[in-house]
Chains A and B, each alone.
Chain A
Amino acid sequence: EDQVTQSPEALRLQEGESSSLNCSYTVSGLRGLFWYRQDPGKGPEFLFTLYSAGEEKEKERLKATLTKKESFLHITAPKPEDSATYLCAVRGAGNMLTFGGGTRLMVKP
């Protein structure tokens, strides 16, 4: 059974204070690791897909990295508008997306 664990559950940062979110996973035959952003009352918004260990993707202040056991979402010099819940998901050999519980990020000005 595929499993995804995200930590921390909640993270408070000051504007400009860089940090990382963790996504640990166990999956049979990784066919993709996905990061999403979810704002309150909205559906998840796709950010990145990573397929193999060592791969990295960047978008504005966000950078996602992947190892064989975990993925990190690095946030550099965050702004208040980066406040959201960040979700990690894996797709294994069964082709279903399995989500973690998310990290709720709050960035204060």
Chain B
Amino acid sequence: NAGVTQTPKFQVLKTGQSMTLQCAQDMNHNSMYWYRQDPGMGLRLIYYSASEGTTDKGEVPNGYNVSRLNKREFSLRLESAAPSQTSVYFCASSEVSVAEAFFGQGTRLTVV
């Protein structure tokens, strides 16, 4: 049982480049989330999807877009990467939007 799988695990981008972070869960969860974690800032919600077909902005959505491709997959896209987007990105899922969330192992992104 893999749980929540994120790809890639590490990525270096140049300023202005674009990329998509992939996330898939095999727990049949309805809700999925994207967080970023920065030193001294804790985990901050970027976007979430309460159920298939819906997405909503979180605390720090600027510079990002998301796609809930199906019930299993939730991707995060950086259209034009900036150094301020250097961070560790975590995808999470929960059975419903009020239940505990389970996290992937993270993607460490560096924008130079």
Contacts and interface: CB of A to CB of B under 8 A. Distances in A.
Interface in A15-45: 31-32, 34, 36, 41-45
Interface residues of A, number: 22
B53 interface: no
Contacts of B59: 96
A44 B35 CA distance: 11
Contact of B43 (A46, A95, A99): A99
Contacts, number: 50
A46 B59 CA distance: 22
Given A96-B58, A100-B42, A101-B40, A31 B98 contact: yes
Given A42-B106, A87-B43, A97 B33 contact: yes
A89 to B, nearest CB: 8
B43 A44 contact: yes
Interface of B: 4, 33, 35, 40-45, 48, 50, 58-59, 90, 92, 97-106
Contacts of A71: none
B42 A46 contact: no
Closest 9 CB pairs of A and B: A43-B103, A99-B43, A101-B42, A95-B97, A44-B103, A99-B42, A43-B105, A46-B100, A49-B100
A99 B40 CA distance: 12
Given A87-B43, A100-B42, A95 B98 contact: yes
B45 A96 contact: yes
Given A96-B45, A96-B58, A102-B42, A43 B100 contact: no
